[in-house]
């Protein structure tokens, strides 16, 4: 893999699992999401990975809310808007497929089933295929999310069977440190990177304690970064994360030290093979 001149930083500000009561800086309302997006854009993020919540702060795939969020993010920022099709472990395949009706620029595509703590994050291969081909048809760029080694093989299998993704570029997000998936170590990251299809780029995110080692290893491998309160709630030992921008600032600082400073959204669009932004 040839490292790009800059680093694509994705912020995943909310996720589906954490309760607001556990993390006061977690953006759960639309206003909070937009404020986090604006702050993270200023700090160096170029892509936002979005999960939305209902009025009680609970994860939802409600289409109206997703559409409203995509519109508000486009109005307030130039970030690449990537919706989660992973949702929560309790979401149905039909609802997860329905996320694409909100017409984001990009969407996550988890490439296989994985134990997710005590739960199971179910991604049957026929469903992964159906999501992939639906994204090709609707001109939505997939971000192939890999939580385990077999998921990386599935990326190659999808490409062989169904051809390239919309945009023509393969970008994989390696999510390490989920209990049940790949461990959050530099060695696990190196193994996953070695198995990527030719020409693919990757970003990596380490969940919980894996956050810093995975971020440093990803930069060492010429990769990109995903950070945010979806994955990380502790900034340093004994210090909770204040807000998402705090994590983006640290990622941008490390990327700059690595002499691959953050890409702006135009640079991210170029890397991902996306055209001009949709309004
Ligand atoms: N919440 C996890 C079960 C994604 O966004 O695509 C799945 C997840 C992956 O967060
Ligand atoms: Zn997610």
User: DSSP string of 118-129?
Assistant: TEEE---HHHHH
Tell me the CA–centroid distance for residue 259 and ligand 1, in Å. 31
116: Cβ below 6 Å to ligand 1? Answer: yes
What pLDDT is stored for residue 278 in this prediction? 66
108: Cβ below 6 Å to ligand 1? Answer: yes
What pLDDT is stored for residue 275 in this prediction? 78
Q: Which atom of ligand 1 is nearest to the CA of 121?
A: 3
What pLDDT is stored for residue 47 in this prediction? 98
Tell me the CA–centroid distance for residue 116 and ligand 1, in Å. 10
Measured at the alpha carbon of residue 186, what is the angle toward residues 183 and 189, in degrees to the nearest 5? Answer: 70
82: Cβ below 6 Å to ligand 1? Answer: no
110: Cβ below 6 Å to ligand 1? Answer: yes
Q: How far apart are CA 14 and CA 244, in angstroms?
A: 9
Q: Which ligand is nearest to the CA of 14?
A: 2
Taking 70 as the pLDDT cut, the residues of the chain under it are 1-4, 277-279
Q: Which ligand is nearest to the CA of 89?
A: 1
Q: What is the pTM of this model?
A: 0.97
What pLDDT is stored for residue 5 in this prediction? 85
Angle of helix 125-138 versus helix 149-162 axis, rounded to 10:
50
CA-nearest residue, atom 9 of ligand 1: 86
89: Cβ below 6 Å to ligand 1? Answer: yes
Tell me the CA–centroid distance for residue 21 and ligand 2, in Å. 19
Is the Cα dihedral 227, 271, 256, 72 positive or negative?
A: negative
């Amino acid at each position: 893999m040839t490292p790009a001149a800059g680093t694509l930083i994705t912020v995943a500000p909310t996720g589906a699992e954490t309760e607001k009561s556990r993390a006061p800086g977690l953006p759960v309302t639309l206003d909070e999401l937009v404020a986090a997006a604006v702050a993270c854009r200023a700090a160096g993020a170029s892509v936002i990975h979005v999960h939305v919540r209902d009025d009680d702060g609970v994860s939802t795939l409600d289409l109206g809310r997703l559409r409203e969020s995509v519109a508000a993010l486009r109005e307030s920022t130039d970030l690449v808007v990537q919706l989660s099709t992973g949702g929560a472990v309790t979401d149905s395949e039909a609802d997860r497929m329905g996320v694409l009706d909100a017409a984001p620029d990009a969407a996550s595509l988890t490439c296989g089933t994985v134990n997710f703590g005590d739960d199971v994050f179910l991604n049957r291969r026929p469903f992964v295929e159906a999501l992939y081909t639906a994204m090709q048809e609707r001109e939505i760029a997939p971000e192939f999310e890999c939580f385990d080694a077999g998921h990386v093989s599935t990326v190659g299998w999808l490409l062989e069977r169904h051809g390239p993704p919309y945009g023509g570029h393969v970008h994989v997000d390696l999510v390490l440190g989920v209990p049940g998936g790949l461990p959050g170590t530099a060695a696990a990251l190196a193994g996953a990177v070695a198995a990527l299809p030719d020409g693919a780029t990757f970003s990596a995110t380490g969940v919980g304690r894996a956050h810093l080692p995975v971020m440093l290893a990803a930069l060492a491998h010429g990769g990109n970064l995903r950070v945010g309160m979806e994955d990380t709630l502790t900034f340093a030992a004994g210090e909770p994360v204040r807000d998402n921008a705090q994590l983006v600032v640290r990622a941008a600082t490390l990327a700059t030290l690595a002499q691959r400073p953050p890409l702006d959204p135009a640079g991210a669009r170029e890397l991902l093979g996306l055209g001009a932004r949709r309004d």
